[in-house]
A and B are shown apart, each in its own frame.
Chain A
Amino acid sequence: MDKIKVTMTVNKKTVETEIEPYARLLDVLRDNFGFTGVKEGCGIGECGACTIIMNGKKVNSCMILAAQAQGSEILTIEGVENADGTMHPVQEAFLEKGAVQCGFCTPGMVISSYHLLNKNPEPTDLEIKEAISGNLCRCTGYKQIISAVHMAADNMKK
């Protein structure tokens, strides 16, 4: 099969590459564009380690063909930090509350939390749990992550 050319905006920069038609967006983000913060945990859309935001929607990048992302706007974990290199309030809260352990689920977890707070600045416990229910974590038992999202919500209101 012939390679195809795709162009997309990742973390506010326009990037372009040639891919196999069957290439997954996850692999193209990692291998072609170097965004290795996007993790592969399961490859079947169950664990959420590869969560990104595409055209405003939260998606598992392992379940999307890169060709489908032609012309789209994508945010990966690498684009969550503020422009001056400081951490986003969600990331700050993850640090503060001890929500980071092995760190492998963290990029996807931060993206899901960020996406939630953009839509819903004052989430309840249940809304937070639902928002991160597609992101599996084996280390924390989720408690610290949930309290980090609450903290981030409070701090973002200030």
Chain B
Amino acid sequence: MGSNIALKEDDIKGVKMAAKISIPVLRIDAREKAGGWTHYIADYEFDNLQHGRFLRSERARAKIIEIRKPDFPEGYYYIDASDIPPGGKNNIQMIKDDWRVFADGDVRYIGETIALILGPEKQIVLDLLNQIEVVYEDLVPSFTFQDALSCKGGAIHGTDNIFAEFLLNIGDVDNAFPGAVRVVEGVYETGFQEHLYMETQGIVATWEDEKITLYASSQCPFYIRKSVAGTLGVPLGDIRVKQAATGGAFGGKEHFPDVIATPLAVAVNKIKKPVAMIFDRIEDISFTCKRHPGRISIKTGLDRDNNIVAMEIDTLVNGGAYESSTPIVLQRAIIHGLGVYRIPNARIHGRAVATNTFPSDAYRGFGAPQGLFAIEMHMSHIADEIGMPVSQFKRKHFIKTGDITITNAKMHDDVKLPGMLAKIEEMSDYSEKVKKYEDDPLRGIGLSFVNHGGGFTGNGEQAVIKGVVKMKRLEDGKAGLYVSVVEMGQGLQTALRKIASKELELDYLDIVYDNPDTDIVPDSGPTCASRSTMVVGFLVQECAKKLKIKWDEGVGAEAEHVYTHPEEFVWEQETLQGDAYPSYGWGVNVVEVELDPFTYEVKTTGVWAVWDVGVTIDETIMQGQSSGGVIQALGYASIEKCELKNGAFMQRTMADYTIPTSLDFPEVHTVFIDNPYKYGPSGAKGAGELVFDAAPPAYAEAVQNAIGKRIYEIPVTPEMIMEALR
């Protein structure tokens, strides 16, 4: 396969780097972390601390007939649904509240919380836990898409096991297919992925000042407050949540901490003593949410000139036993279903199903990586079928500014993909290498294009979040910044300080910003959806402008800024029609590989990335995001296999579930292009998830290019390659 793309001077000239704010500064949190002084939740000290462990379901689907408990010594407790106070609910308030705090009467997945055992000595808590016997009556469990759709064993959710179902349509697919001269079809599958943040989940719930206060490793302190208040049936203000330094999250600490916080709060409400729940790694891998597995079927019709005339996509994601944020993940998977391409007639049918597996939830990318893997591989398969170079076929279909998107809106972004392609050609020698590896049975190279919508889908920022930020003039020429979005490794504490200090003409070190405490900061929304810099950062910028005007009022001068949705973006939530996102980040990746013909192991020999994130708020931080996101995604594409056996994850330790080490991948060569977005701080757009999206299809394309067989599934394991080459 060769390529006939000519590099245009203009394309490269259009790529311009480094606004002033992009110039790196030292990260505000780095010194303390490098010294080992930062306190994560397991490092806190509390008087009279009680240690909790969950009694968990050992069955995927069963009735609980009886729970046989030993006698508990004084000071040791068994907490279950019966301890929820009157007025409270045995439900966790997430987007829906179907997930139960404690299983009651039946269990729906392996690991489901049945009770919380706690007391002063860890070892005695474990001994008690081991003596408890749960008597089950097994029911027929449902694990696969097929099980779910046929309601095997009866529906787990509603009457049909469908958590959510959406249909998106543009043009006239049914009339367009008959005009196609060629039809290409494929079914693409992606697996579970474990977040494997280096710090496991952990929360300590305490009774302080007549109030339940939780210290949490968390992305979303206000989510925890909402869920705990809902479970206990108390006003939101009765619960206080303080974020502890968070050792990585990647979506895994978005809603899942609610599942730990609610039982702990029920216990503290009863015993009025602090209770800690710090997961060990086996517990964390076995019993926390994973990325939704996806199965995406695509059928495409082409005309005589190899233009796509119609595309039909069927998307399935496995939500597990409870809904959590599954419908929103599905929305993102289908809205990103056409990737970066302009398809005149397209229909996407999406369904999220319920199974008796651990509930799936947010993971960096939030559905987009599944949809983008499928469309990118499919585009490469079509190119292969028609004998056109992949880069040429993909480029031919690039969406342009003003084109119609799958939600029947105009693409507002200034789409710079052609320039980005030219840039990555220059960096990686992609087309030359495609030619070079054509007859090489062991080497291959892949090229992928992605976009990622920043912020909540549709009008969610306005209708659901309504983010608020506050600033205040403090003593000594400093300014306080009050937001609920958290530092979790992505550099937000530094980025937001830079944004605020730019407007106030202060040094970034003069912006005072603590880990959020729900009693102190306003709710600026959760730390997710690539929204913290783009959306909350913009609120900070606008708030800082207001404070600047009031600065001369002296110490104590305050300003507040509330999110308003730009009027030019229109959205209808019921039909998912309109501007799904106000802006997109864009990306191009090239991955180069070499196959070991004896072991079928794949060695990655080169990785390149070009991103459009508007403007980088800090070049060093964003280089870190790119390198970390791409390597995490290469793990997803290659070695991070997470399989179910009878409803339990077979990988339980860091020895079974392996993530990339320093020896597994070469360095990621990254360039950011300049393309400011008017509603982003200094022009910045969302970035944290975008940098995950592109590597999996680029890697899989490189492997298929090397072995000369199509790849439809990630992770691409040596076993799969061996099968394909047989």
- Point out which of B24, B199, B655, B660 has the most chain A C-beta atoms below 10 A from its C-beta: B199
| Bound-state Cα–Cα, A107 to B253, Å | 22
In the bound complex, do residue B27 and residue A140 qualify as a contact, i.e. CB atoms below 8 Å apart?
no
Which of B245, B249, B621, B655 sits near A103, CB closer than 8 Å?
Answer: B245
Q: Which one of A2-10, A63-71, A129-137 is at the B interface?
A: A129-137
Specify the chain A residue showing the minimal Cβ separation from B667: A143
Specify the chain A residue showing the minimal Cβ separation from B282: A43
In the complex, B575 has a CB within 8 A of chain A: no
In the bound complex, do residue A103 and residue B489 qualify as a contact, i.e. CB atoms below 8 Å apart?
yes
In the bound complex, do residue B36 and residue A37 qualify as a contact, i.e. CB atoms below 8 Å apart?
yes
Specify the chain A residue showing the minimal Cβ separation from B657: A46
Number of A-B contacts (CB under 8 A): 176
- Point out which of A36, A97, A102, A146 has the most chain B C-beta atoms below 10 A from its C-beta: A102
| Bound-state Cα–Cα, A77 to B250, Å | 26
In the complex, B518 has a CB within 8 A of chain A: no
Q: Within the complex, what minimum Cβ distance (angstroms) separates A19 from chain B?
A: 14
Specify the chain A residue showing the minimal Cβ separation from B24: A98
Q: Within the complex, what minimum Cβ distance (angstroms) separates B198 from chain A?
A: 4
In the bound complex, do residue A133 and residue B661 qualify as a contact, i.e. CB atoms below 8 Å apart?
yes
Given known A95-B30, A100-B27, A102-B198, contact A46–B624 (CB-CB < 8 A): no
Specify the chain A residue showing the minimal Cβ separation from B656: A46
In the bound complex, do residue B35 and residue A77 qualify as a contact, i.e. CB atoms below 8 Å apart?
yes
Within 8 A of B (CB), among A102-122: 102-107, 110
In the complex, B196 has a CB within 8 A of chain A: yes
Which of B37, B281, B662 sits near A142, CB closer than 8 Å?
Answer: B662
Which of B31, B36, B655 sits near A76, CB closer than 8 Å?
Answer: B36
| Bound-state Cα–Cα, A137 to B663, Å | 12
- Point out which of A78, A100, A128, A141 has the most chain B C-beta atoms below 10 A from its C-beta: A141
Which residues from chain B contact A42 at a C-beta distance below 8 Å?
281, 653-654
In the complex, A156 has a CB within 8 A of chain B: no
- Point out which of B29, B35, B199, B662 has the most chain A C-beta atoms below 10 A from its C-beta: B662
In the bound complex, do residue B659 and residue A44 qualify as a contact, i.e. CB atoms below 8 Å apart?
no
In the bound complex, do residue B248 and residue A37 qualify as a contact, i.e. CB atoms below 8 Å apart?
no
Which residues from chain A contact B34 at a C-beta distance below 8 Å?
87, 91, 94-95, 100, 103, 106, 110
In the bound complex, do residue B247 and residue A104 qualify as a contact, i.e. CB atoms below 8 Å apart?
yes
In the complex, B40 has a CB within 8 A of chain A: yes
Within 8 A of A (CB), among B1-44: 24, 26-27, 29-40, 42-43
In the bound complex, do residue B198 and residue A138 qualify as a contact, i.e. CB atoms below 8 Å apart?
yes
**Interface SS majority for chain A:** loop
Which residues from chain B contact A49 at a C-beta distance below 8 Å?
198
In the complex, B668 has a CB within 8 A of chain A: yes
Within 8 A of A (CB), among B608-633: 620-621, 623-624, 626-632
Q: Within the complex, what minimum Cβ distance (angstroms) separates B428 from chain A?
A: 16
In the complex, B205 has a CB within 8 A of chain A: no
Which residues from chain B contact A38 at a C-beta distance below 8 Å?
36
Which residues from chain A contact B628 at a C-beta distance below 8 Å?
101, 137-141
Within 8 A of B (CB), among A72-86: 76-78, 80-81
In the complex, B676 has a CB within 8 A of chain A: no
In the complex, B208 has a CB within 8 A of chain A: no
Given known A44-B281, A98-B620, contact A104–B35 (CB-CB < 8 A): no
- Point out which of B24, B37, B200, B661 has the most chain A C-beta atoms below 10 A from its C-beta: B661
In the complex, A154 has a CB within 8 A of chain B: no
Specify the chain A residue showing the minimal Cβ separation from B621: A98
In the complex, A151 has a CB within 8 A of chain B: no
| Bound-state Cα–Cα, A43 to B649, Å | 19
Q: Within the complex, what minimum Cβ distance (angstroms) separates B46 from chain A?
A: 13
In the bound complex, do residue A146 and residue B248 qualify as a contact, i.e. CB atoms below 8 Å apart?
no
In the complex, B280 has a CB within 8 A of chain A: yes
Specify the chain B residue showing the minimal Cβ separation from A76: B36
Which residues from chain A contact B281 at a C-beta distance below 8 Å?
41-44, 47
Q: Within the complex, what minimum Cβ distance (angstroms) separates A100 from chain B?
A: 4
In the complex, A39 has a CB within 8 A of chain B: yes
In the bound complex, do residue A100 and residue B33 qualify as a contact, i.e. CB atoms below 8 Å apart?
yes
In the complex, B166 has a CB within 8 A of chain A: no
Beta-carbon contacts of B583-622 to A below 8 Å, as 1s and 0s?
0000000000000000000000000000000000000110
In the bound complex, do residue B653 and residue A102 qualify as a contact, i.e. CB atoms below 8 Å apart?
no
Which residues from chain B contact A106 at a C-beta distance below 8 Å?
33-34, 36
In the complex, A28 has a CB within 8 A of chain B: no
Given known A43-B280, A44-B655, contact A133–B663 (CB-CB < 8 A): yes
Which residues from chain A contact B33 at a C-beta distance below 8 Å?
100, 103, 106
Which residues does A use to contact B, with CB under 8 Å? 30, 35-44, 46-47, 49, 76-78, 80-81, 87, 91, 94-98, 100-107, 110, 128-130, 132-146
Among all A-B residue pairs, the 7 with the closest Cβ atoms: A37-B36, A102-B489, A103-B33, A104-B247, A77-B36, A141-B631, A141-B627
Given A47-B198, A102-B489, 17 new contacts (CB under 8 A): A36-B36, A77-B35, A78-B37, A95-B26, A95-B30, A95-B34, A98-B24, A102-B488, A103-B38, A128-B662, A136-B661, A140-B624, A140-B627, A140-B628, A141-B629, A143-B623, A144-B620
> Can you show 20 pairs from A to B with CB atoms below 8 A apart?
A36-B39, A44-B654, A46-B655, A77-B36, A78-B37, A95-B34, A98-B620, A100-B34, A102-B197, A103-B34, A106-B33, A106-B34, A107-B36, A132-B662, A134-B661, A136-B659, A138-B198, A140-B627, A142-B661, A144-B627
